[in-house]
Amino acid sequence: MSVLKIITIGDPRLRKKSRPIRQFGKNLEKFARDMVETMRHADGVGLAAPQVGVNERLIVVEMPEEGFEEDPQAGQLFVVVNPEIVRAKGQLEPGDEGCLSIPGYIGEVMRYPTVVVRGQDVRGKPLRIKAHGFLARIFQHEIDHLNGVLFIDHIQDPEKLRRIVKDQATDEYREEPAGALVG
Ligand code: ZN
């Protein structure tokens, strides 16, 4: 397994619509394992293939157990090929998001509290996942990546985007207004 390089905002590959995957097999399985390793290495909760420069429809999602002990889907790994949101339920809810491809920023984004995701596993077997809360948010964020959409695109009010700054003296993180971020 290997840790892949995560590309960041400004790279045009993050803005492309990704291709559906039609070839299942050893290469895809290896790529999916590398994606999982890359996500874990970066302490991420999700990663989409375009973030490692591959414009194909594959995402990996893993919500941490820590802080989400009540959620039965916490700690579960999801590897989804050609994921699609087939149902979204409830009123849009605000919540903070960051992105491994936009380091140093977080912002408040409106997402559906419940989604049903359909897709395939790495062998091509159909998958159906019902996700709530934070997990539903991660799926919406990762599937957006496959369409060239970043979380900042959902933020109209610049006050809702904040920069995370590490205080050199105390080593603590604080937030400050980010202003506009275009990418
Ligand atoms: Zn992201």
Predicted confidence (pLDDT) per residue in 111-126, tens digit: 999 999 999 999 999 9
Catalytic residue among 37, 66, 142, 175: 142
Q: Render pLDDT for 123-174 as a digit per residue (tens, 0 to 9).
A: 999 999 999 999 999 999 999 999 999 999 999 887 889 998 888 888 888 8
**Domains along the chain?**
12-181 (3.90.45.10)
**Comparing 177 with 8, which gets the higher pLDDT?**
8
Is 70 designated active site?
A: no
How far does the centroid of ligand 1 lie from the alpha carbon of residue 23, in Å? Answer: 25
How far does the centroid of ligand 1 lie from the alpha carbon of residue 45, in Å? Answer: 9
Burial of 33 (0-12, 13-18, 19+ CB in 10 A): middle
Give percent of the chain with pLDDT exceeding 90. 79
Structure tokens at 181: 């971020």
Helix (H, G, I), strand (E, B) or coil at 101: coil
How far does the centroid of ligand 1 lie from the alpha carbon of residue 170, in Å? Answer: 28
State pTM to two decimals.
Answer: 0.93
pLDDT of 34 over the 70 cut: yes
Tell me, what's the pLDDT at 66? 83
For 27-181, list the strands marked E by DSSP. Answer: 46-48, 58-62, 77-89, 93-97, 105-111, 114-120, 126-132, 161-166, 173-177
Residue 52 DSSP symbol: G
